[in-house]
Amino acid sequence: MENNSNRYFFRLSFLIIAVLIFLTAFVFLTARFFSLQTYRIILYAIAFILFFAVMLFLTGFIWIKKIITRNEKNSNRKTVKNPFAAKLSFRLFMPFLLAVSDLINYNKDEIRRIYINICNEYIKTGKIKVSPEKMLVILPHCLQNSKCTVRFVEGIDGCTGCNSCGIGAIKELLNKYGIRSRIATGGTAARKIIQDEKPGFVIAVACERDLSSGMLDVQNLPVYGIINERPNGPCRDTFVDINELEKAIAFFSLKENAE
């Protein structure tokens, strides 16, 4: 699936950059045929802006491509530390790419998956280590069995451990590391939880849509995203890889060896 996501990402990126290059050339050549100096200046200015946008997009694309190539080769090399390219990628290139994929309905979840993976890889290079009390795990309500009668108001402490879903195992894991959790009913609820709780680091479990939109909205806070598994369709009886969740907790937690 990851290779498919990469392929869709490259195709859409090449399309956007090619369109921008074409528009730049078209506007520049059109300006040469205008006799009125005012119009020519305006068109040249537009062409310059488009050319500048192409350069910015290329910078962001090349930086992301390096990360994807490294992951495909399973390389242990650290991500190239380039704050300028990182900002271009996360604040300009990828948001624009996500918007275009939404607009033309082009493999939206695959493009979102790339964005989530790139964010995760970049966060891993930051050597972030936080104490358990500063870490927050946000879980989607759909992890709970749809037939369960227990109502979770905030966290999952009320889980009885009936094993009809994965909530019980998650509760044991979080208790093991001493980490709090909150249940979110969607992206808006997750953002409100972050505003209220003010954590230092977030591990969020959700679908591609909610994760990507949440990561875009809280770029000043490190968020590590884990995509849930949806064998029963969206928003119903979903699962999360408990091993992946524990690896993320152990990687970013100061308390690496839980008692």
Report which of 217, 235, 237 is spatially closest to residue 225, judged by C-alpha positions: 217
Side-chain half-sphere of 15: how many Cα atoms within 13 Å?
A: 12
Average pLDDT of the chain, as a whole number: 85
Q: Which ranges in the chain belong to alpha helices (H)? A: 2-32, 37-72, 83-88, 94-104, 108-124, 167-177, 187-197, 208-217, 242-252
Specify the pLDDT at position 150.
83
Share of the chain above pLDDT 70, in %: 91
Specify the pLDDT at position 83.
67
Q: What is the mean pLDDT of residues 211-216?
A: 88
**In the structure encoding, which two tokens stand for residue 139, read together?**
């879980």
C-beta of residue 101 within 8 angstroms of C-beta of residue 15:
no
Q: What is the mean pLDDT of residues 175-184?
A: 91
Q: What is the mean pLDDT of residues 37-56?
A: 90
**Taking the CA atoms of the chain, what radius of gyration do you get in angstroms?**
22
Q: Above 70 in pLDDT, residue 257?
A: no
Specify the pLDDT at position 250.
92
Q: What is the mean pLDDT of residues 52-81?
A: 74
Specify the pLDDT at position 69.
76
d(CA 61, CA 85): 9
Q: Above 80 in pLDDT, residue 163?
A: yes
Q: What are residue 234's phi and psi, to 5 degrees? A: -70, 140
Q: Where are the domains of the chain?
A: 2-122, 132-252
Q: What is the mean pLDDT of residues 108-122?
A: 89
DSSP string, 169-197: HHHHHHHHHT-EEEEESSHHHHHHHHHHH
Specify the pLDDT at position 231.
87
| Band of pLDDT at residue 178, cut at 50, 70 and 90 | very high
Q: What is the mean pLDDT of residues 116-125?
A: 86
Print burial letters for 33-71: b (CB count within 10 Å at least 16), e (below 16).
Answer: eeeeeeeeeebeebbeebbebbebbbbbbebbeebbebe
Quick one: fold of 132-252?
Rossmann fold (3.40.50)
| Band of pLDDT at residue 74, cut at 50, 70 and 90 | low
C-beta of residue 136 within 8 angstroms of C-beta of residue 203:
yes
Q: What is the mean pLDDT of residues 28-38?
A: 83
